[in-house]
Amino acid sequence: MVLYFTGTGNSRYLARRIAEGLEMPLYDLNAYIKAGDTAPVQTGRDVVLVTPTYAWRIPRVVSGWLGKTALTGAERIWFVMDCGSEIGNAAGYNRQLAAQKHLHYMGTAQIIMPENYIAMFNAPQKEQARSIVEQAEPELQKVLTRLKAGQEFPPPRENLYDRLMSGPVNPVFYRFFVKADAFRATDACIGCGKCVELCPLNNIRLENGRPVWGKNCTHCMACICYCHKEAIEYGKKSRGKPRYHFEALEKKQDV
């Protein structure tokens, strides 16, 4: 089974490609995390987990869900992580997670995809994003080849910098940067509720037709990047930046 969590669509795209290539069922973790559903999942022997990279590891919401949820029948697990630049030493923590689940760790693969974290970085324009996705194809094919053969992924880079970022920096990053305080709706907001619908942690509610953010945020960027009115800002950090979500790349270009 292929499990995935996504913020703005990169991981969903990769997971669908992998599931199609392996002829495996696809399991959307966003829906189950949002519903608080931790009932056992019948996965079969092999599990492929596809996630974005948050603070140089898999998202805490995903590792937390896995810690509470039995993967019935699972014996082996592969991790596929997409990122804007690097995953640090996420593989080391994925190995620990696999051990906690009593699963044979089959490795971690990194695939570079378009950046979406506009709370800190710039997202690419559409044409640049399409180019990044095209450049990811060879790595995706390598991942599929190893998965089809039941082979382990080769070990990713692991140096002092990687261990630092995934180790002590990760909790510091979550504590001081992963907050919803700076999100706000502008006058362009029409109160459609799309942000409420997409938030995987039910951290957004509408008050008087405008979104209000709570304290339980994972910085997935779904609310700000999927708002079709671009009516959400993250303080001053998101001003003037392109909003990125994968589905926009699949739309036909204007003639």
Confidence of residue 251 (pLDDT cuts 50, 70, 90): low
Q: Which two structure tokens, joined as six digits, stand for 245?
A: 């979500």
Pairing of strands 204-207, 210-213: antiparallel
Tell me: the pLDDT tens digits for 144-172?
999 999 999 999 999 999 999 999 999 99
For range 68-95, the mean pLDDT? 98
Residue 190 and residue 202: Cα distance in Å, rounded? 20
What is this structure's pTM?
Answer: 0.97
Question: Using CA atoms in the order 88, 19, 47, 166, what is the torsion angle rounded to 10 degrees?
Answer: 10
Cβ atoms 195, 204 nearer than 8 A: yes
pLDDT value of position 99: 98
In the predicted structure, residue 36 carries a pLDDT above the cut 50: yes
pLDDT value of position 252: 53
pLDDT value of position 250: 84
Domains within the chain, CATH numbers bracketed? 2-174 (3.40.50.360), 183-250 (3.30.70.20)
Tell me: the pLDDT tens digits for 7-21?
999 999 999 999 999
In the predicted structure, residue 253 carries a pLDDT above the cut 70: no
In the predicted structure, residue 112 carries a pLDDT above the cut 80: yes
Across the chain, how many H-helices and E-strands are there? 10, 11
Best CA proximity match to 52, nearest among 114, 95, 102: 114
